Homo-oligomer: A and B are copies of this chain.
Amino acid sequence: MARRFVYGFGGKKAAGNARMKNLLGGKGANLAEMTNLGIPVPPGFTITTEACNNFYKNNRKLSRALQEEVNGAMRNVEKLMGRKFGDAKNPLLVSVRSGARRSMPGMMETVLNIGLTEKTIPGLIKQSGEERFVYDAYRRLIMMYSDVVMEKGAGIEPQAEESGIRRQLEKIMNEMKKEKNYESDLDLKPEDLKVLCNKFKQRIKQVLKSDFPDDHNSQLWGGISAVFASWFGKRAVSYRRIEEIPDDWGTAVNVQAMVFGNMGKNSATGVAFTRNPGNGENHFYGEYLVNAQGEDVVAGIRTPAPLNESSKSITKSNLETLEKVMPDLYRKLDTYQKRLERHYKDMQDIEFTIENGVLYMLQTRVGKRNGPAAVKMALDMLKEKLISQEEAVRRVTPSQLDELLHPMVDPKAELTKKPIAKGLPAGPGGAAGQVVFSSNEAVAWAKSGKHVILVREETNPEDVEGMRVARAVLTARGGMTSHAALVARGWGKCCIVGCGDLHIDYEKKEMNVSGKIYREGDWLTLNGTKGNVYEGKLPMMETAEENVLLNQFLKICDAIRRLGIRANADTPDDARRARKFGAEGIGLMRTEHMFYGKGSEEPLFRLRKMIVSKTAEERRKALDELYPYVKKDIKGVLEAMDGMPVVMRLLDPPLHEFVPREKARLDQLAKELNISADELAQRADALHESNPMMGHRGVRLGITYPEITAMQVRAIFEAAAELIQQGRTPYPEIMVPVVAEARELLSQKKIVDEIYQEVLAKYNLKKIKYLYGTMIEIPRACIVAGEIARTVQFFSFGTNDLTQMGFGFSRDDIGGFLAEYIAKGILPQDPFQSIDQSGIGELIETGITRGRGTNPTLEVGICGEHGGDPQSVHFCHCVSMDYVSCSPFRVPIARLAAAQAALEHPAKKKTSNKKKPRRKKK
């Protein structure tokens, strides 16, 4: 049987349903579902995503079979609407819209009013009685069609955006408005529009070397092809890269009978959310425009009016609400939105149009929301028993949670400042940055390491790249559902829109805010939660620790997750913060980090002295001097984490890293060691390595200089002993880094055992609870993990180095090629961001399986930076690790990701502490 490419809907009956998103796209599937739910939807049909893939296989041609199916479906729509496509008397107009599996707002093309031709215009005028409306629709069709189908769809690249056909036509229209002294598009008379349409057609012919098609079928096929073509348009491809959407998903095309919100004062169009997507509050919330088409709302050209009172308070608009203007229709709308939310059990983002007093629902989809809203909705819907606890956990993405952890403007600092402007709080959190006025500038400035705030009249999809790199986005126009607001919210980015006091001069690269000029490079601070814009750079603060809802939500996560969560922390302060974020221990304390960023340079100096020591005697002396500092810091961290495990990594980096570079410091060092500067330079040179990452570091230092290991281990045990005497319960885990071979660990263990006994005796203790373990970060260590595990009690995977050596990628040197690797699709993503599961992941799995094979009680964790990456946390869950460890700020993310992993893979029980050796996964 031939594949079916077209699925119709309309008349309370649809061939598709909401579960068919992959085939029909999100919009198509939901149009079908709404139809089935008895909600009034203009009839139409969906062309499947498979047809899109076929289009590309077929060299960008629509197949004969598809055309026949479309024609058949069109007959059905004609029947339901009682109009005929291309008919002179009673013509049917249709819209052609994209609809991918996942929403890609504004990334692909739409053509409205298809079917309007010289032949059908008179009939439509007769039917509607609105000549102006018809010519305005024709004008819109010509503008969109020439842009979307004739220019972009045909692959014609205008030299600059300004020379694109759409801008040229807009210019013609603006000239006429100026000439006639019109303020708004609405002032254009039917005669004006007729003239305009003709001028448009002439310009199109002149610029694009072809005629605007005056045939309804040509318009339809052109529209469908253009939507398919837009799937591989530059913007869409770039968006997919960012959002990691595969190319082969394809887009569906929805062809639907046109209904008009711009057929006069009794018509309207609007966009709404069943709950507030900005804070999650349970109020029906939306905006509408009288006598307008849907694009007018989204494009942010006219500021829309609030749907109801609760929307009013948010949009800060005093325009009249739909509730007041058309109360009956509003009630119907409210009924539909409630039905939809109950049906979908999630907040819906809906579009509607009122044509001459008749309400049509054009779209419903799960609404995008920001992080705070996601958490609140999840908790509320759980309370409302709309969803289960598990579902609540699934409802918040790690990146949404991340938004809650974003910096906020310090409220105290804010109190002292008066905002220079106010706008709509479209994206929460705070940000400070230097002003730029174009997407390209934003990208360039950000590349050079600057924090920028992108300021635009309004944004459009061309601005996506700049929005991404900006710390915050600020627009002069548009509402909470404008492009800028939608995109920024999706990314959890600080954003203020509709800030009417801004008057931007793109050419001069400056803006006038209430009489004061701000130029490119000036600093602004935005409070995206309140919508306030401040001059200068205000201090930020972290608020996540105090967020009650967040903590409530994370507690639910904690009940579901199996993975333990620890934090990487090097100082007592870090450790305390980690605890506040919910860390259950320290997974990595880099003992050498304690030497940096201190008030005193004393410890670092002693360390350096040790590093450049030449004889064991010199070194021992320097170590003795260093000892009290090391012990103090270790004790501080153990104390802060009282009762919880703290993994302490012995000295890891190659010694050359610590050699000072400044002459004064070198001289001081030489003097202290009683050697000449030349001698010191020689010693420092001797430490230099060609490939330090694979040089004399980690356990290799411990083997050639056992006295270094001894000093550190003594500091750990003595710090613990002193805490025990003070009634605390320290729990150090001693971790040996850079191990490639079991015998390295045996050699270090001798030292640990010896010093353990010495310290017990010295403090008259029977026992100090501790573990001896190793970092698994060398590929060979994964292979010989079975041998290694016989000597140790825990493994902690150092996935940074494992990725470096497994790939042969020096993290410091990938700049030359990694971007190109990702751009060319050779690697799907940066393996330092997210664990490369097919390669490095298998090494990890091998290491765990073999390690637990010889030591079933082996504790296994991860302490690379991957520990805070949600995908990697999933992986760690699936390979049965005991815990992940990440930076304190990522701990909440890890708690959520771990819970979601447990929901997705419930079978992956904690398998440590089992007696039976496990088998390697096939």
Contact = CB atoms under 8 A, between A and B. Distances in A.
Nearest to A819: B704
Contacts of A839: 740-741, 780, 783-784
Contacts of A525: none
Contacts of A743: 825-827
Interface in A798-828: 801, 804-810, 812-814, 816-817, 820-821, 824-827
Nearest to A686: B816
Contact of A696 (B692, B801, B817): B817
Contacts of A738: 808
A694 interface: yes
Contacts of A824: 703, 747
B807 A778 contact: yes
B778 A808 contact: yes
Given A740-B807, A779-B806, A826 B747 contact: yes
Contacts of A690: 692-693, 810, 812-813
A463 interface: no
A600 interface: no
B744 A826 contact: yes
A341 to B, nearest CB: 44
A792 to B, nearest CB: 16
A694 B691 contact: yes
Nearest to A825: B743
* Total identical chains: 2
Given A740-B808, A778-B808, A783 B843 contact: yes
Contacts of A805: 694, 779, 805-806, 808
A457 interface: no
A752 interface: no
Given A703-B820, A839-B783, A741 B827 contact: yes
Nearest to A787: B838
A836 interface: yes
A149 B904 CA distance: 72
A842 B783 contact: yes
Interface in A689-736: 689-696, 700, 703-704
Given A801-B808, A839-B783, A696 B813 contact: yes
B694 A813 contact: yes
Contacts of A134: none
Interface in A214-268: none
A840 interface: yes
Nearest to A743: B826
A696 B808 CA distance: 10
Interface string A775-789: 001111001100000
Contacts of A825: 743
A808 B694 contact: yes
A821 B743 CA distance: 10
A780 B839 CA distance: 6
Contact of A780 (B694, B740, B744, B807): B807
Nearest to A817: B700
A846 to B, nearest CB: 9
Contacts of A703: 817, 820-821, 824, 826
A816 B700 contact: yes
A780 B691 contact: no
B779 A843 contact: yes
A826 B691 contact: no
Contacts of A689: 810, 812-813
Given A703-B820, A780-B807, A843-B783, A826 B692 contact: no
Contacts of A812: 689-691
A749 to B, nearest CB: 12
A840 to B, nearest CB: 7
B809 A694 contact: yes
A817 B701 CA distance: 8
Interface string A829-859: 0000000101110110000000000000000
A805 B825 CA distance: 25
Contacts of A777: 808
Interface in A611-638: none
A203 to B, nearest CB: 37
A471 to B, nearest CB: 28
Contacts of A809: 694, 740
A839 B785 CA distance: 10
Contacts of A821: 700, 703
A814 B703 CA distance: 13
A816 B695 contact: yes
A879 to B, nearest CB: 15
A703 to B, nearest CB: 6
Given A694-B693, A805-B808, A810-B695, A741 B778 contact: no
A831 to B, nearest CB: 9
A821 B804 CA distance: 24
Interface in A756-794: 777-780, 783-784
Contacts of A704: 816-817, 820
A825 B814 CA distance: 36
A820 B691 CA distance: 20
Contacts of A692: 690-691, 810, 813
Interface in A323-374: none
Contacts of A813: 689-692, 694-696
A829 to B, nearest CB: 12
A12 to B, nearest CB: 49
Contacts of A826: 703, 741, 743-744, 747
Contacts of A807: 694, 740, 778, 780
A809 B836 CA distance: 22
A921 B248 CA distance: 37
A813 to B, nearest CB: 4
A233 B808 CA distance: 44
Given A836-B780, A839-B783, A696 B816 contact: yes
Interface string A170-210: 00000000000000000000000000000000000000000
B784 A838 contact: yes
Given A826-B743, A840-B780, A843-B779, A810 B700 contact: no
A878 to B, nearest CB: 17
A825 B778 CA distance: 20
A820 B699 CA distance: 13
A827 B703 CA distance: 12
Contacts of A814: 695-696
A689 B814 CA distance: 9
Given A816-B704, A817-B704, A824-B703, A694 B810 contact: yes
Nearest to A690: B812
A160 B691 CA distance: 42
Contacts of A827: 741, 743
A699 to B, nearest CB: 9
A740 B784 CA distance: 21
A805 B806 CA distance: 7
Contacts of A783: 806, 838-839, 842-843
A578 to B, nearest CB: 29
A851 to B, nearest CB: 15
Nearest to A746: B826
18 contacts: A689-B813, A691-B693, A691-B813, A694-B804, A694-B807, A694-B808, A694-B809, A694-B813, A703-B821, A740-B809, A743-B825, A747-B826, A778-B807, A779-B805, A780-B808, A783-B843, A784-B839, A801-B808
Interface of A: 689-696, 700, 703-704, 738, 740-741, 743-744, 747, 777-780, 783-784, 801, 804-810, 812-814, 816-817, 820-821, 824-827, 836, 838-840, 842-843
Nearest 10 A/B pairs, CB to CB = A691-B810, A695-B813, A694-B810, A696-B816, A780-B839, A779-B779, A690-B812, A689-B813, A778-B808, A743-B826
Given A695-B810, A741-B839, A783-B806, 14 more contacts: A689-B813, A695-B813, A695-B814, A696-B813, A703-B824, A703-B826, A704-B820, A738-B808, A743-B827, A747-B824, A777-B808, A778-B807, A780-B840, A783-B839
